[in-house]
Amino acid sequence: MEKEKTKKQSKISELRQDLVTGDWVVIATGRARRPEDFAASERAIEEDDFGKACVFCHPEETGQEKDVLMYQDQEGDWSLRVFPNKFPAFARSRTPKHFEEGPYFAMDGIGYHEVIVTRDHIKQMALMNPMEVAEVLDAYQERYIDLMNRKSVNYIEIFHNHGKEAGASIKHPHSQLMAIPVVSPYIKGELEGAETYYRSTKECVYCTMNEWECEDQKRVVFENEEFVAFCPFASRAAFEVWVVPKKHKPYFERTNSEEKLACGEALQESLNRIFKALKDPAYNFYIHTAPCDGKDYLHYHWHIEILPHTATWAGFELSTGIEISTIQPEIAAEYLRNIN
Amino acid sequence: MEKEKTKKQSKISELRQDLVTGDWVVIATGRARRPEDFAASERAIEEDDFGKACVFCHPEETGQEKDVLMYQDQEGDWSLRVFPNKFPAFARSRTPKHFEEGPYFAMDGIGYHEVIVTRDHIKQMALMNPMEVAEVLDAYQERYIDLMNRKSVNYIEIFHNHGKEAGASIKHPHSQLMAIPVVSPYIKGELEGAETYYRSTKECVYCTMNEWECEDQKRVVFENEEFVAFCPFASRAAFEVWVVPKKHKPYFERTNSEEKLACGEALQESLNRIFKALKDPAYNFYIHTAPCDGKDYLHYHWHIEILPHTATWAGFELSTGIEISTIQPEIAAEYLRNIN
């Protein structure tokens, strides 16, 4: 066992290799701060906090486009709606026009850009109950399945921004979905890494990590029957958490109801612990799943990545793609595990 | 000629492919803002603006480590100093210890982390004259050459953060150098891309871009005999500028005096135009050059990338590595070219 080797606090930093992509991250053990020091500064209550002028509280009155999905509660009031983003990054069109300029290639930015809105203006996902979070996952999946076979859709990105520092321009809790014609470099890196790992070991790299983490426990934040939430060994950011299905599952869209409930619980537990530990920080989470480009990705393993926003990317990160995380994932996980 | 094809303002966005790495970026033409709208909001003058308590104004009195380089002006006063970072991200040690934990690999974070400080507390690089900028480049190069052959140094990252939003924690103008044992994923991507392009075309991909940009002119911000500064076709960020040697040069460290002067002029002109156009925005710039790991990289081409900080990375960017730039590089370049 090599366990004690990660305990040397006197080292300035460690370079840790991401087991999937092979990329390196820096864990700055020497200039590490205490977990408490990462807490967000108190946030002023913003004027719109009671939803008066909120475009997502009354979507039908504020010029949003027609719902593509609506869930209702037992009283018949809406509890969740999905509609096209009013300011989309991609245009709906069937075929992207490709063009060249000198040595360069480009194509029209076509695709689908939707917003997934839960009703309560204040209740962020960290404060929902697991069932409510599972309902959001239901909506993600339903929209995913509707869009995945459309022409020119090769990848569907589902993500959630919370807080201004994480890029949320509207306070009302909402997620976004972008169905696009290209597979992103990060997903490509993970697919290639998973494939390479499989070829050399005959194992799924995510299953290998799951097993190690569940046995070892020191980076585990929460687990249930179906999912494990842990701070990854090569964390990109302080307090990063991955929520990963325990069984080998390449495709998010094939998650069944039981798994969705378990995933809802693991995601809610993770977000809630981050909320308490860091005092309502800004964060992003997103789903990484196999592309829907018609190919098989049997050795990939879908999961959710949560990135709390506690630092600013500076020249080194922007130049290298190597992120400097200022707390050891083991210490972050212990703090999240024990918070209440 | 395909020139007119980039003019369609009615499209929502374009996906443009980076000619070097093959990665895609989104240029949001539809929700593009006017160039003026990117200007930084007025910044309050901070208390330390006159340098009273500045650790970099009087490094010898404030517990900095001994200089590894000092330049003096004609009166014998120091004009530039380089010393080890007081809070280094990497420890100085000759051999990194590798270790394993279960399926994972890591190594001690060893290397050199230095700070390059110019004397004037207020005068940022955008406001220096070209000669002063060239002196900073001299220091970069001198430190690079001293460190490049040391044991376990395989890449030397040189970067400059300006403004709090770009990660500068100290206001006094300074650059940083990190000499590290691993080659970063971004550099790897560029090396592989340049190699692939060379194999299929027998041309350097950066030389190809230079030629197109200099002939086409619409993305050129500034050029002189030796260097061209342009907004890249597949810009990652609004008002991004690359400063690239016109001749094929893989290695920054082999830049001669004449080239350094020309580079100083092109860098200063670019920074100064960004300063005026965006009203002193936060920005990062960094040098991308061939690794110093003992291998040859004859098909690479060193350059400087400048990334003004005008937006927050949100879930989409963090999840995909695909950045959404909200102004067309052609419009940004025209604005920078014509500002005065």
Q: What percent of chain A has pLDDT over 90?
A: 59
Tokens of A252: 């998010």
What integer pLDDT is reported at residue A61 of this predicted model?
75
pLDDT tops 50 at residue B60: yes
Which is higher by pLDDT, B117 or A35? B117
Helix (H) / strand (E) containing B325: strand B324-325
Contacts of B219 in chain A (CB under 8 A): none
Contacts of A164 in chain B (CB under 8 A): 312
CA A59 to CA B322: how far, in whole Å? 29
Give the chain A residue nearest B209 (alpha carbons).
A103
Give the chain A residue nearest B91 (alpha carbons).
A12
CA A27 to CA B99: how far, in whole Å? 14
C-alpha closest to that of B82 among B154, B158, B196, B11? B158
Rg (CA), chain A: 20
pLDDT tops 80 at residue B39: no
Which amino acid is it at B132? E
Q: What are phi and psi of B38, to 5 degrees?
A: -90, -5
User: Can you give the pTM of this predicted structure?
Assistant: 0.89
pLDDT tops 90 at residue A119: yes
Confidence of residue B3 (pLDDT cuts 50, 70, 90): very low
In sequence order, the β-bridge partners of residue A55 are none
Neighbours of B99 (CB within 10 A): 16
The shortest CB-CB distance from A157 to any of B6, B23, B316 is to: B316
pLDDT average, residue stretch B171-179:
94
In sequence order, the β-bridge partners of residue B27 are B14, B325
Chain A: give the shortest CA distance to residue B200, in Å. 13
Contacts of A184 in chain B (CB under 8 A): 24, 319-322
Which is higher by pLDDT, B42 or B125? B125
Range in A156-170, A222-236, B266-280 with the lowest mean pLDDT:
A156-170
pLDDT tops 50 at residue A59: yes
C-alpha closest to that of A337 among A288, A284, A263, A266? A266
Q: Where are the domains of chain A?
A: 11-36+53-338
- Counting Cβ atoms within 10 Å, is residue A122 exposed (0-12), middle (13-18) or buried (19+)? exposed
CA A239 to CA A336: how far, in whole Å? 8
Neighbours of A247 (CB within 10 A): 12
CA A68 to CA A62: how far, in whole Å? 16
Confidence of residue B32 (pLDDT cuts 50, 70, 90): low
C-alpha closest to that of A51 among A122, A115, A117, A116? A122
- B103 close contact with A: CB closer than 8 A: yes
The shortest CB-CB distance from A88 to any of B12, B24, B107 is to: B12
The shortest CB-CB distance from B91 to any of A6, A11, A284 is to: A11
CA A301 to CA A117: how far, in whole Å? 27
C-alpha closest to that of B7 among B334, B328, B337, B332? B328
Confidence of residue A26 (pLDDT cuts 50, 70, 90): low
pLDDT tops 50 at residue B85: yes
Confidence of residue A39 (pLDDT cuts 50, 70, 90): low
Residues 6+ apart with CB under 8 A from A111: A90, A91, A92, A152, A153, A178, A179, A180, A181
Summarize pLDDT for B277-291 with one digit per residue, the tens: 998 999 999 999 999
CA A321 to CA A327: how far, in whole Å? 18
CA angle A22, A25, A31 (to 5 degrees): 160
What integer pLDDT is reported at residue A47 of this predicted model?
45
Q: What is the DSSP string of A75-87?
A: TS-EEEEEEE-SS
Best residue of A18, A98, A104, A158 to probe chain B, by most B CBs closer than 10 Å? A104
The answer to whether the beta carbons of residues A226 and A263 sit under 8 Å apart is yes
C-alpha closest to that of B85 among B117, B114, B56? B114
Summarize pLDDT for A133-165 with one digit per residue, the tens: 999 999 999 999 999 999 889 999 999 999 988
What CATH number matches the domain at A11-36+53-338, 3.40.50.300, 3.30.70.2740, 1.20.120.10, 3.30.428.10?
A: 3.30.428.10
pLDDT tops 50 at residue B4: no
What integer pLDDT is reported at residue B10 of this predicted model?
54
CATH class for domain B55-338? alpha beta
Summarize pLDDT for A159-182 with one digit per residue, the tens: 999 998 888 888 999 999 999 988
The answer to whether the beta carbons of residues B270 and B126 sit under 8 Å apart is no
Interface of A with B in 232-291 (CB under 8 A): 233-234, 284-286, 288
What integer pLDDT is reported at residue B44 of this predicted model?
43
Tokens of B244: 């690239």
pLDDT tops 80 at residue B103: yes
Confidence of residue B96 (pLDDT cuts 50, 70, 90): confident
pLDDT average, residue stretch B295-323:
86
pLDDT tops 50 at residue A25: yes
Query: Residue length, chain A?
Result: 340
Q: What share of chain B is helix, strand, coil (3-state, %, to 5)?
A: 30, 25, 45
The answer to whether the beta carbons of residues B111 and A320 sit under 8 Å apart is no
Summarize pLDDT for A265-300 with one digit per residue, the tens: 999 999 999 999 998 999 999 999 999 999 999 999
Best residue of B313, B326, B327 to probe chain A, by most A CBs closer than 10 Å? B313
Confidence of residue B20 (pLDDT cuts 50, 70, 90): confident
Test A89 with B316 for CB contact under 8 angstroms.
yes
Contacts of A104 in chain B (CB under 8 A): 16-17, 19, 212, 233-234
Best residue of A100, A205, A320 to probe chain B, by most B CBs closer than 10 Å? A320
pLDDT average, residue stretch A56-77:
86
pLDDT tops 60 at residue B113: yes
pLDDT tops 60 at residue B6: no
Token pair 């007081």 in the structure block, residue: B86
Test A109 with B315 for CB contact under 8 angstroms.
no
What integer pLDDT is reported at residue A51 of this predicted model?
53
pLDDT average, residue stretch B30-49:
56
C-alpha closest to that of B175 among B271, B48, B45? B271
CA A161 to CA B162: how far, in whole Å? 26
- A185 close contact with B: CB closer than 8 A: yes
Contacts of A307 in chain B (CB under 8 A): 318
pLDDT average, residue stretch A239-264:
97
What integer pLDDT is reported at residue A145 of this predicted model?
98
Best residue of B220, B322, B323 to probe chain A, by most A CBs closer than 10 Å? B322
In order of A70, A104, A119, A272, the CA distances from A79 in angstroms are: 8, 46, 5, 21
* Per-chain mean pLDDT for chain B: 86
What integer pLDDT is reported at residue A19 of this predicted model?
75
pLDDT tops 90 at residue B214: yes
What integer pLDDT is reported at residue B12 of this predicted model?
63
Tokens of A87: 């300011």
Test B28 with A109 for CB contact under 8 angstroms.
yes
The shortest CB-CB distance from A91 to any of B12, B187, B189 is to: B12
